[in-house]
């Protein structure tokens, strides 16, 4: 059984992938999406989006990383997929699930779920453009506004010879509102043979085992759950091995934050580091009272040096 770290845009960048795969339990990563319109991106754009291309398309801790592409036109996506593979990408993932209005308005993400033909054409064109040993995968939602479309969409992806399909078990119009409708996955599996990765509303070990019970998938993807509990992948692996599950607590989480700030500063700059560290601390505070106390006290700080000083003080 493999556990995948979800490619959350504006969240799971190189620094977050490096941080979370260091903790352990993550078997596979996917980059934030690289938006493709009608042009071939220069190599520098790929290397910025996925610095792991310099290290065999793996994080420093050995976890494989696929490059995710998003767009509505098959040929440009295929050209960019070819370039990513030439740069060393271990796989290409195609984003048909992003619900952001700005993305959908520009013919990307979940808006493609309205047309199975377009999804088939894109997956088929990209599949034919890259070597057969390189996985080409797709990530979808159950549909744009009608979950009954999910079977037809999955069949289109399968017929285009995708290697596997990740399903976020909500429609675009559902957004991230609970619940995730895991029960659609067994229905899809009745009509297809493609390997399916289940995704959505896995916040803890109990949720994971419920998802396994409902979907009977071999592999699972986790997104927002790892932001509030960075140890969830490791905890799931411990539970699968019937080992003692180490509880998530502030004492274990807090040393990660100063390291994350420093790495984000090196990756972009210190203002970026302030923004991303606040973002992560807010997510941690959803499930941890001590993290919330720290967040409430430093969320108003904007100057990087002041923020970093207080962060170190609170996490010492």
Mean local confidence (pLDDT), 91-120: 93
Domain boundary among 195, 219, 240: 240
* pLDDT, tens digit (0-9, with 9 covering 90-100), for 154-202: 999 999 999 999 999 999 999 999 999 999 999 999 999 999 999 999 9
Q: Has residue 180 been placed in a domain?
A: yes
The enclosing domain of 110 has a CATH number of 3.20.20.70
Number of domains in the chain: 2
Contact 277, 257 (CB under 8 A): yes
172 and 125 in a common domain: yes
Residue pair 47/54 in contact by the 8 Å Cβ criterion: yes
304 lies in the same domain as 162: no
| Domain match, 187 and 259 both | no
Name the active-site residue from 29, 50, 98, 169: 98
217-249 per-position pLDDT tens digit:
999 999 999 999 999 999 999 999 999 999 998
Q: Are residues 13 and 106 in the same domain?
A: yes
Q: Residue 39, Cβ neighbours under 10 Å: how many?
A: 10
CB neighbours of 220 closer than 8 A, spacing ≥ 6?
Answer: 1, 2, 3, 4, 197, 198, 199, 202, 208, 211, 212
Look at the block and give the residue holding tokens 């976020």: 168
pLDDT over 90 at 105, yes or no: no
Q: Is 98 a catalytic residue?
A: yes
**Is the same domain home to 176 and 137?**
yes
Average pLDDT, the chain: 96
Distances (CA, A) of 156 to 52, 72, 121, 192: 31, 15, 9, 10
Q: Are residues 309 and 191 in the same domain?
A: no
So what's the pLDDT on residue 184? Answer: 98
Residue with structure tokens 């969320």? 299
For 302, other C-beta atoms within 10 Å of its C-beta total 11
Domain that holds residue 147: 3-240
171 plus 50 within the same structural domain:
yes
Flag whether 245 is in a domain: no
Q: How far is CA 264 from CA 50, 148, 177, in A?
A: 14, 42, 30
């Amino acid at each position: 059984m493999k556990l995948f770290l979800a490619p959350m845009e504006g969240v799971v960048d190189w620094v977050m992938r490096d941080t979370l795969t260091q903790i352990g339990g993550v078997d596979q990563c996917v980059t934030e999406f690289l938006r493709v319109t009608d042009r071939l991106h220069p190599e520098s754009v790929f290397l910025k989006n996925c610095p792991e291309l310099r290290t065999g398309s793996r994080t420093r801790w050995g976890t494989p990383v696929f490059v995710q592409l998003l767009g509505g036109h098959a040929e440009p996506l295929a050209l960019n997929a070819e370039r990513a593979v030439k740069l060393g990408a271990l796989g290409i993932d195609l984003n048909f699930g992003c619900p952001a209005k700005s993305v959908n308005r520009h013919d990307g993400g979940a808006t493609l779920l309205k047309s199975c033909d377009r999804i088939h054409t894109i997956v088929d064109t990209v599949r034919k453009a890259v070597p057969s040993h390189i996985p080409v995968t797709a990530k979808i939602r159950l549909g744009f506004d009608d979950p009954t479309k999910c079977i037809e969409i999955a069949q289109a992806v399968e017929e285009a010879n995708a290697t596997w399909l990740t399903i976020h078990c909500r429609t675009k119009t559902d957004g991230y509102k609970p619940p995730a409708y895991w029960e659609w996955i067994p229905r899809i599996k009745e009509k297809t043979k493609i390997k399916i990765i289940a995704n959505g509303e896995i916040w803890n070990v109990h949720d994971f085992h419920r998802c396994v019970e409902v979907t009977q998938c071999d592999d699972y993807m986790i997104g927002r759950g790892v932001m509030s509990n960075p140890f969830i992948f490791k905890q799931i692996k411990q539970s699968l091995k019937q080992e003692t599950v180490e509880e998530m607590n502030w004492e274990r989480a807090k040393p990660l934050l100063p390291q994350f700030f420093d790495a984000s500063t090196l990756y972009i700059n210190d203002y970026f580091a302030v923004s991303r560290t606040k973002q992560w601390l807010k997510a941690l505070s959803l499930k941890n009272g001590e993290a919330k106390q720290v967040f409430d006290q430093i969320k108003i700080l904007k100057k990087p040096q002041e923020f970093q000083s207080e962060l170190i003080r609170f996490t010492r």
